[in-house]
Amino acid sequence: GGEASGPLYPPATIDESMFSCEAASRSAFSEAQLVPEDIQWFGLYDCYPVCFIRALEACGVTGKGQCGTWVEEMFRCTSKPYEPKDFPINTHGGLLAFGAPWEVPAMYNIIEACEQIRGTAGSRQVPSVRRALVYGNGGIFS
């Protein structure tokens, strides 16, 4: 998997150059010899909406600066009735649905990824999942 690290402490100026999520994503895709389109299910760390947006962009679900429009479009497409295949991201509800008790959230995404790949996710199942990507962050939107 990919890994990258931003600054340990917030610098005087916070700008795009300090975020490491894109570097971690690029590293993971390169190591696996895959591209975002090869992934059928995404488990993205979404403790706050801005973190979800950064994760969508970093993992290649949307292009840079296109996430807001994409989220609105997905909301319209999935609002009634919701089908996991239409939005194969955080089908278990994500952190915004069940909270963020310290290190446990990463495991929720890993468990859901395993269930999706095994085909045992029940009503949350996305059809034909062969590959899943689990993204977590720490520090300043790392």
Separation between Cα atoms, residue 112 and residue 66, nearest integer Å: 27
pLDDT tens digits for 100-134? 766 677 788 899 999 999 999 999 999 999 999 99
Q: Which two tokens stand for residue 5?
A: 């690290």
Separation between Cα atoms, residue 38 and residue 28, nearest integer Å: 13
Backbone angles phi, psi at 19, to 5 degrees: -80, 135
Q: Which two tokens stand for residue 63?
A: 């292009």
Q: In a structure prediction context, what are the per-residue pLDDT tens digits for the chain, which is 142 residues long?
A: 676 666 677 778 877 766 778 888 888 899 999 999 999 999 998 888 888 888 899 899 999 899 989 989 888 887 677 788 888 999 998 887 877 766 677 788 899 999 999 999 999 999 999 999 998 876 655 5
The reported pTM is 0.86
